[in-house]
């Protein structure tokens, strides 16, 4: 990969991806596009490439990016606050950004990878198979379904083109601080413990999520591009071109408190409170069979080793 673009590259996952790509491809030309609506320049400390501060909805991509020159285009930019219920803003900004990217790259060699979400599965519990019916429960998830639909149409119109969607599960790790409330549960519980408070979770902490460390997500996202570039992705065998990226394991909320107590050397007791939501997802778990078969993704971090690495990075709790 010599010419790479990352949208949302100043955000949480995008900045981790950008910095990993820079380490792995030191001579590559890397460009970040971000309008900084939920980002921080601090995430890009050490980045040597170009940053275009622009809203993808109306930026003239042709002015900045020669589509024929790009090897890999990672589209992670999105409104990520799931509590933003402005249906027009979410749908307009998320979907129109993607439409203009797809139009810009139509007929080009670039391998496109875009971020979808496990939120597309909705609130039903259990193991999330990639071919399960999608039941978005909020407008954010609805926009991700639209991204997938648009990509499917694009793949049908341009069969030789490279495009893969990755449904991220619950991602945690360095460089999520700027997100505030939408940051991971692991981040928030660690802040409560550090502030000397009891960590608060819904009664009685047995709800399970597929928590996945950002390094694994970055790895899977890069694989989705490299496998396409190497011609090692079989689009005929996997015509959906959408894959789960998670840890493949569901862990109860209570486990986070146990691991944080061990990591932070504390012994705090959990405060349980009533879940205010009439429907709350009891269990998410990425089924990774297709992902492994199609792009060779295998997560390397457990919840224990992910939280340990996050702590070591200095981003989980300030020194």
Ligand X SMILES: NC(=O)c1ccc[n+]([C@@H]2O[C@H](COP(=O)([O-])OP(=O)(O)OC[C@H]3O[C@@H](n4cnc5c(N)ncnc54)[C@H](O)[C@@H]3O)[C@@H](O)[C@H]2O)c1
Alpha carbon distance 136, 140 (integer Å): 8
Q: Of 210, 199, 216, which Cα lies nearest the Cα of 264? A: 199
Q: Which is nearer to ligand X, 12 or 243 (CB)?
A: 12
Alpha carbon distance 314, 319 (integer Å): 7
Chain residues binding ligand X by CB under 6 A are 8, 10-14, 33-39, 55-57, 76-80, 93, 97, 115, 117, 168, 170-171, 179
Could you confirm whether 140 is annotated as catalytic? yes
Token output for 283: 């269990």
We find the least distance from the C-beta atom of residue 217 to ligand X, in angstroms, to be 8
Cis status, amide bond into 89, omega within 30 of 0: no
We find the least distance from the C-beta atom of residue 146 to ligand X, in angstroms, to be 12
Q: Of 113, 80, 84, which Cα lies nearest the Cα of 11? A: 80
We find the least distance from the C-beta atom of residue 159 to ligand X, in angstroms, to be 26
User: In 179-295, where do the E strands start and end?
Assistant: 200-202, 208-209, 211-213, 242-245, 251-252, 271-273, 285-286
Token output for 142: 């609805």
One of 114, 121, 140, 213 is an active-site residue; which one?
A: 140
DSSP letters spanning 118-160: GGGGTT--SEE-TTSPP---SHHHHHHHHHHHHHHHHHHHSTT
Instruction: Give residue 22's Cα distance to chain centre.
Output: 19
We find the least distance from the C-beta atom of residue 14 to ligand X, in angstroms, to be 5
Q: Which is nearer to ligand X, 36 or 315 (CB)?
A: 36
Q: Which is nearer to ligand X, 166 or 257 (CB)?
A: 166
Q: Which is nearer to ligand X, 101 or 295 (CB)?
A: 101
Q: Closest residue (Cβ) to ligand X?
A: 11
We find the least distance from the C-beta atom of residue 234 to ligand X, in angstroms, to be 25
Could you confirm whether 265 is annotated as catalytic? no
Q: Which is nearer to ligand X, 40 or 266 (CB)?
A: 40
Residues taking part in catalysis: 140, 179
């Amino acid at each position: 990969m010599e010419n790479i673009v990352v949208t949302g590259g100043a955000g949480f996952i995008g900045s981790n991806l950008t910095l990993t790509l820079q380490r792995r491809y030191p001579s590559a030309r890397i460009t970040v596009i971000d309008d900084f609506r939920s980002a921080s320049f601090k995430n890009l400390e050490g980045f040597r490439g170009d940053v275009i501060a622009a809203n993808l909805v109306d930026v003239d991509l042709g002015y900045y990016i020669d589509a024929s020159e790009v090897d890999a285009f990672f589209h992670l930019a999105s409104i990520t606050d799931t509590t933003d219920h402005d249906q027009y803003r979410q749908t307009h900004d998320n979907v129109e950004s993607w439409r203009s990217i797809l139009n810009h790259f139509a007929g080009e060699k670039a391998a496109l990878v875009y971020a979808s979400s496990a939120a597309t599965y909705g609130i039903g519990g259990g193991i999330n198979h990639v071919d399960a019916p999608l039941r978005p429960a909020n407008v954010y998830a609805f926009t991700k379904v639209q991204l997938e639909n648009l990509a499917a149409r694009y793949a049908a119109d341009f069969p030789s083109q490279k495009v893969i969607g990755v449904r991220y599960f619950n991602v945690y790790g360095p460089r999520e601080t700027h997100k505030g409330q939408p940051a991971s549960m692991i981040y928030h519980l660690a802040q409560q413990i550090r502030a000397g408070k009891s960590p608060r979770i819904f009664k009685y902490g047995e709800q399970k999520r597929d928590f996945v460390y950002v390094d694994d997500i970055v790895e899977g996202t890069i694989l989705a591009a490299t496998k396409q570039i190497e011609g090692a992705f079989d689009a005929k065998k996997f015509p959906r071109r959408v894959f789960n990226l998670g840890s493949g394991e569901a862990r109860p909320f209570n486990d986070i408190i146990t691991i944080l107590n061990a990591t932070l050397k504390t012994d705090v007791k959990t405060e349980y409170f009533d879940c205010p939501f009439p429907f709350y997802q009891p269990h998410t778990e990425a089924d990774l069979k297709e992902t492994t078969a199609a792009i060779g993704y295998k997560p390397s971090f457990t919840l224990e080793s992910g939280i340990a690495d996050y702590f070591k990075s200095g981003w989980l709790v300030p020194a």
